[in-house]
């Protein structure tokens, strides 16, 4: 059958993942103390770096080991590989459902924390880097797949806004897990916010960002692993449901409005205005 044939073709990829996974897991969690807290290096980060170094697109001599076309077959496997992980998260949420419901208001409202990116990243993109309408795509959201779909739908991916959102998407794919692991472990050990709040905030991005983030929290505060996992998982599930709407109805109109106030003379402002008029 076809199913068996494609498996036979992809086996080198699975084998690489198996070997890299075992090596990464044997290395385990390594911690680096810095002044304000501790940075935790997790096995999943090692695994990512190792396969990046084995990737023929990144390190061309690796083409002798893994053909570039074969490496492309790994792409649809990312979402498949996250499934058992998501299932485990679900089974942690179920037993803690009462705690989740008690934290309901906090869980719902923290979805608006997405807007924090506008406060921090948008001004830097506009005033420090003098970026144009790329800043709208780049800074309106955390740039995961639903956000790309919104930008693609409204502006097209070849537009300035599309370039911005794709840039952040790719940077997120490459470095997002590291940023989340580092920020979460530093904040957990710095004790500014409660661990429950930090756990909820872990759910704002992709599955692997959540994994790195909640993993770092769980290592930093070992006693509350179940609670951390349950809150992060619930928040991530909520992000699937609400994130797109926060992005579409709140964040994107807000950055678009801000950009027009700051740069009223940008000729690029005209096109989306026309399409808006056409659709309303």
Partner 1 sequence: MTTHETEEDFLPSGDDRSLVLTDTLRDVAVVTVIAIPLQLIATDLSLLQVLAGMLALYVVCVIGLLLTTFLPFYLPSVAWISLVGIALTMPFMPWAEWFVGLVSGIDFLALAVPCLAYAGLAISSLELSVMRRSGWKILVVAVLVFVGTYVGSAAIADLVLRVTS
Considering only residues 93 to 112 of the shown chain, the ones binding partner 1 according to CB under 8 A are 93-95, 97-98, 103, 105-107, 109-112
Find how far residue 34's CA is from the centre of its chain: 24
Measure the CA–CA gap between 25 and 35, rounded to whole angstroms: 27
Q: Number of helices (H) and strands (E), helices first, in the chain?
A: 16, 2
Q: Which is closer to partner 1, CB of 32 or CB of 83? A: 83
Are 247 and 114 in contact by the 8 Å Cβ rule? The answer is yes
Residue 156, phi-psi category: left (phi > 0), alpha (psi -120 to 50), beta (remainder): left
Q: Which residues in 214-253 contact partner 1 (CB under 8 A)?
A: 214-215, 218-219, 229, 233, 235-237, 240-241
For residue 40, the 8-state DSSP code is E
**Residue 37 φ/ψ, nearest 5 degrees:** 180, -155
Q: Which residues in 247-276 contact partner 1 (CB under 8 A)?
A: none
Shortest distance in whole angstroms from residue 189 CB to partner 1: 14
Stretches 31-39, 212-220, 255-263, 266-274: which one binds partner 1 (CB under 8 A)?
212-220
Interface residue with partner 1 among 37, 39, 41, 71 (CB under 8 A) is 71
What is the token pair recorded at 100? 């989740």
Q: Which is closer to partner 1, CB of 65 or CB of 273? A: 65
Shortest distance in whole angstroms from residue 77 CB to partner 1: 5
What is the token pair recorded at 85? 């992980």
Cα distances (angstroms) measured from residue 146 to each of 45, 130, 205, 230: 24, 27, 11, 23
Q: Which is closer to partner 1, CB of 222 or CB of 267? A: 222
* Contacts for 225 with CB less than 8 Å, ≥ 6 apart: 218
Interface residue with partner 1 among 176, 185, 189, 248 (CB under 8 A) is 176
Are 274 and 141 in contact by the 8 Å Cβ rule? The answer is no
For position 213 contacting partner 1 by CB under 8 A, the verdict is yes
Size of the site for partner 1 (CB under 8 A): 141
Q: Which residues in 10-29 contact partner 1 (CB under 8 A)?
A: 13-14, 16-18, 20-22, 24-26
For position 181 contacting partner 1 by CB under 8 A, the verdict is no
Q: Which residues, in sequence order, are bridge partners of residue 41?
A: 30
Interface residue with partner 1 among 92, 185, 189, 227 (CB under 8 A) is 92
Q: Which is closer to partner 1, CB of 78 or CB of 273? A: 78
Q: Which is closer to partner 1, CB of 3 or CB of 280? A: 3
């Amino acid at each position: 059958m076809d199913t068996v044939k494609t498996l036979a073709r992809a086996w080198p990829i699975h084998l690489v993942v198996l070997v890299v996974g075992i090596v990464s897991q044997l290395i385990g969690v390594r911690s680096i103390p810095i002044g304000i807290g501790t940075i935790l290096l997790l096995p999943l980060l090692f695994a990512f770096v190792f396969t990046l170094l084995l990737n023929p697109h990144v390190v061309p001599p690796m083409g002798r080991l893994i053909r570039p076309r074969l490496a492309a077959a790994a792409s649809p496997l990312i979402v498949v590989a996250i499934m058992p992980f998501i299932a485990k998260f679900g089974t942690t949420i179920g037993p803690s459902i009462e705690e989740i419901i008690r934290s309901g208001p906090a869980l719902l409202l923290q979805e608006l924390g997405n807007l924090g990116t506008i406060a921090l990243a948008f001004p830097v993109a506009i005033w420090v880097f003098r970026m144009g309408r790329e800043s709208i795509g780049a800074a309106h959201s955390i740039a995961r797949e639903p956000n790309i779909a919104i930008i693609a739908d409204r502006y097209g991916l070849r537009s300035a806004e599309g370039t911005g959102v794709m840039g952040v998407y790719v940077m997120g794919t490459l470095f997002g897990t590291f940023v989340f692991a580092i920020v979460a472990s530093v904040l957990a050990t710095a004790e500014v916010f409660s661990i429950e709040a930090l756990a909820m905030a872990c759910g704002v991005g992709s599955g692997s960002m959540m994994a790195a983030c909640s993993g770092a929290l769980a290592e930093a505060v070992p006693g509350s692993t179940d609670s951390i996992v349950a809150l992060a998982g619930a928040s991530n599930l909520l992000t699937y449901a609400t994130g797109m709407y926060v992005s579409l109805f709140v964040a994107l109109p807000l950055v678009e409005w801000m950009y027009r106030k700051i740069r009223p003379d940008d000729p690029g402002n005209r096109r989306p205005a026309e399409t808006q008029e056409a659709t309303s």
